[in-house]
Structure 1
Amino acid sequence: MREIPRPSLAERTTLRLGGTAIAELILEDATDLEALPERLRALGGNPLILGAGSNILARDGDLPLVLVRPRFMQGPEIVGQRNGKILVRVGAGVPLPRLLRFCVSQGLGGLEGLVGIPGSVGGAVAMNAGSFGTETCDYIESIQIVNGQTVRSITVEALQYGYRTLSIPKVEKGFMIVEVTLGLTASARDGISKCMRHNFFEKKSKQPVTAWSAGCVFKNPAPNMPAGKLLELAGYKGKKLGGMAFSSLHANFLINEGRGSANAALALLHEAREAVRQRFGLALQPEVRIVPCPSR
């Protein structure tokens, strides 16, 4: 286990925001998992499992957090077949784009809609990332997790997942994903590649994919009621505050223009939520994870 003191969240999140945590623990093998609970107790603070930092809005200042960074980089590799599906095992720390390139090279279809989503495989599973009608968890066969000091395999039947959520009812919260086995379909490489290119350029034309952003910041209240449209109608498309802005391409993308702060981001989100509530009577729920969590 490698340990880094006082890591910067701004350097570890795609929104480029956030203060300083207590420490960062980088996990690379099973012995690191065994030693993790004791090291967390010694450091104090609250553990935050952090992949590529693509769905995080970290607060400013000194933060009572210990970053736990799973660097399980095995795979992707084909490990068998079941019920007409080709099974692919991949470590939670593997970047999602790397998995998608593997799918193209091996002629494995199913995940084409995830192109253009930043982050790690573990993060995509943990939040059931999705786009173009594709959701990550629809392709899970099983996941391997660590909970406390116990490593276990969980089949898809034991998972509960929905729009941007994943839970395991019989496992207490705080589990960490170690690896994932996916069930994919044999398909023509050219067709997969063509579909991914189409999806990427479609996304690029409508979303600020190269900006400092955490992706969509609010969940859609309903499939026919996208948060971006509500924000646009409430006057927040392109709205700016303190170096932060809602994108002029897509109103549900909060971007850091290079001089923003978490305080400004949170203030802008609060303003936008209130504007939508007043106009439409709807309370938008954050899709981005705010850390530390707001006190209740």
Structure 2
Amino acid sequence: MSLEFITNPSLSERTSLKLGGNAEVEVIVREKQDLDELGDFLMTETLRPFVIGEGTNLLAPDGQLDLALIRVATPPGPQRVEKINDALIVRCGASQRLSGLLGWAQMAGLSGLEGLTGIPGSVGGSVAMNAGSYGTEMSNLVTRIRLWSPGQGLIWLDHDQCDFGYRHFAPKQGIGKCLVWQVELKLTESNPKAVRKAMQDNYNKKKATQPVTARSAGCVFKNPEGQSAGILLDQAGMKGVRLGGVGFSDIHANFLVNLDNGTSADALVLIEQGREAVKEKFDITLDTEVIIL
């Protein structure tokens, strides 16, 4: 099988915010054999490459963008790899949706992922952002990651060969730009009913405090150390503030939502307004968590 190329792909159709213009091309990789061809493409292409995943943490500008979107479409199915005492090593492809992995783990009675309930996106994207919620981060669960780069091809890295931080992941060894191909996670054998209850409880809490069904890219800003960006934005008067068709959620001030055919231009202005409001009131500069292409 060879690479699939889609010309002029719409970012508004590929992101959870439903905003943005068009990239020049999207390249879909399905098999290991396609990676050599992808390397050749990247060596000769002048466009900016970006691995898009499920597009749940992205804000793409309006207009035509000099981007080559890379989409990994590996067969995702989670599989049991090895049992160590009461722990089970599970392997899945980067394109596996995180919600699908949680559903599989629940039915299999495997615990560890419950805190990630309600987080959208793919497993690969969750690793790349070290996604986390309710005290659980992907870094707590990852044992190995299989990465691909044009210079080194496919390599496995153990957890201690990776640098994890708050919404951050990078290989410690310098391998340049890379993409996540597969992930191995350490889960614990449990009871399917207990796992389901914990997941449902976490989802109910999240639904009560976050706009989980809205067109959103999740949290706009990272939490400053020891503080909540959402609370800072709320106290700075940004909750519910709207510009054009986008606005800060009236449920959680750190969520930017596309309310009514918004534009990326309005979203970018509103993000800066939020940053400036917090800076003026608290003398704290917020860093964006959402990736702005």
**Code of the aligned partner of 2:190:** S
**Which residue, 89, 92, 99 being the options, matches 2:91?**
89
1:117-132 aligned at under 5 Å gives the runs 117-132=119-134
1:111 lines up with 2:113 in the alignment: yes
Which of 257, 261, 269 is the matching residue for 2:263? 261
- Report the equivalent of 1:134: 136
Shift of 1:43: 4.1
Q: What SS does the corresponding residue of 1:64 show, helix, strand or coil?
A: strand
Pick the aligned partner of 2:197 from 177, 183, 194: 194
User: In structure 2, the residue corresponding to 1:54 is in which secondary structure?
Assistant: coil
Aligned residues of 1:159 and 1:168 also touching (Cα < 8 A): yes
Looking at structure 1, the residues matched to 83 and 125 of structure 2 have their Cα atoms a distance apart, in angstroms, of 25
1:20 to 14, 17, 22: 22
State the 1:167 CA deviation.
1.1
The answer (yes or no) to whether the contact 1:93–1:121 under 8 Å persists in 2 is yes
The residue aligned with 2:103 is: 101
Aligned counterpart for 1:180 among listed residues 183, 188, 197: 183
Q: How many equivalent pairs are there?
A: 290
Instruction: State which drifts further: 71-80 or 36-45.
Output: 36-45
1:166 to 169, 172, 194: 169
* Aligned-pair CA distance for 1:242: 1.5
Which segment drifts farther, 68-77 or 134-143? 68-77
Written as runs of structure 1 = structure 2, the 5 A alignment for 1:191-270 is 191-223=194-226, 225-270=227-272
- Residue 216 of structure 2 aligns to a residue whose secondary structure is strand
Q: TM-score normalized by structure 1?
A: 0.96
Q: Percent identity?
A: 43
Residue 171 of structure 1, CA deviation: 2.8
Consecutive unaligned residues of structure 2, counting only runs of 5 or more, are none
| Residue of structure 1 equivalent to 2:150 | 148
What is the distance in 2 between the residues matched to 1:98 and 1:123?
A: 14
| Greater alpha carbon shift after TM alignment, 38-47 vs 255-264 | 38-47
For 1:247 and 1:279, locate their aligned partners in 2 and report how far apart those are by CA, in whole Å. 20
Per-residue CA deviation, residues 230-277 of structure 1 (Å, 9 max, x unaligned), is 000000000000111000000000000131111100000001100100
Q: State TM-score, norm by structure 2.
A: 0.97
Distance 1:173 1:258 in 2: 39
User: Could you tell me how far 1:31 is from its partner in structure 2?
Assistant: 1.5
Query: 1:128-157: CA deviations, max 9, x gaps?
Result: 001111101110010101011511000001
Task: Give the Å deviation of 1:75.
Answer: 2.1
Q: After superposition, give the CA deviation of every residue in 1:31-59 in whole Å (9 maximum; x if it has no partner).
A: 11110022234442100101000000111
Q: Secondary structure at the residue paired with 1:160? A: strand
Q: In structure 1, how many angstroms separate the alpha carbons of the residues matched to 2:51 and 2:260?
A: 25
Aligned equivalent of 2:275: 273
Residue in 2 aligned with 1:78? Answer: 80
Alpha-carbon separation, structure 2, partners of 1:282 and 1:173: 32
SS at match of 1:51: coil
Counterpart position of 2:52: 50
Contact map agreement 1:22 1:43 (CA 8 A) in 2: no
For the pair 1:287 / 2:285, whether they are aligned, the reply is no
Residue 173 of structure 1, CA deviation: 3.4
After TM superposition, the structure 1 stretch with the greater mean CA deviation from structure 2, 244-253 or 36-45, is 36-45
Structure 1 gaps, min length 5: 292-296
Within 1, Cα distance between the matches of 2:244 and 2:68? 28
CA distance in 2: counterparts of 1:265 and 1:234, whole angstroms: 18
Task: Tell me the residue number matched to 1:294.
Answer: none
Structure 1 distance, partners of 2:225, 2:291, is 20
